[in-house]
Amino acid sequence: MKPSMRSVFLMLAVLLSLSCERDDICIDETTPKLIIRFYDFENPELFKDVANLKVNIEGADGDYINETITTLTDSIALPINVVENQTRFTLTLQENEVLEQEENADILEITYTQEDVFVSRPCGYKAIFNEVVPDVEKDEDNWIDDIVPLKDPLDINNESSAHVKIYH
């Protein structure tokens, strides 16, 4: 190969390697979920597990259509609707033959204002939820006795701790 061709290939290789960028991987926090902790209504300082909980999110497709949490849990994380300014969750305690309980569904509704925040180029935008107001629709047989936001006003901008207490 001639020396001029060699230098052209060398120059081309250097230019190609300088034009490469690092991989764009999102490692920052994304849109947070609503984190609910379950507490004992009769002894408010104690966590109280929920078994056989079925979760439906109004207007959601996929994972949250009759999603059943069969293990004992004292907390759940639920995605919030970023298209509307409210999200309705149906939380159903399923039948428990040992305790002779039938299914009991309660509707939890949260309303909020949404703010879109730029995170980074690989992550894009995330939604944060401000002035969140949780409420449980009252019916003749609520299994949820009370719902209490952990802050006032309640803003959901991360998943580092619980946002709402549900007493049952």
Q: What percent of the chain has pLDDT over 70?
A: 82
- The mean pLDDT of 41-54, rounded to a whole number, is 89
In this model, does residue 16 exceed pLDDT 80?
A: no
CA distance 133 to 85: 11
Torsion angle, alpha carbons of 64, 65, 68, 69, to 10: 10
In this model, does residue 20 exceed pLDDT 60?
A: no
- The mean pLDDT of 17-27, rounded to a whole number, is 68
Tell me the residue ranges of DSSP E strands in the chain.
Answer: 34-39, 53-57, 67-69, 75-78, 86-93, 104-120, 124-136, 146-149, 154-156, 164-167
The structure tokens 């902790």 sit at 37
pLDDT digits (tens, 9 = 90+) for 59-107: 776 666 666 666 678 899 999 999 899 999 999 887 665 555 678 899 9
- Identify the pLDDT of residue 97: 55
Q: How confident is the model at residue 5 (pLDDT cuts 50, 70, 90)?
A: confident
How much is the pTM? 0.78
- Identify the pLDDT of residue 126: 94
- The mean pLDDT of 130-145, rounded to a whole number, is 94
In this model, does residue 123 exceed pLDDT 80?
A: yes
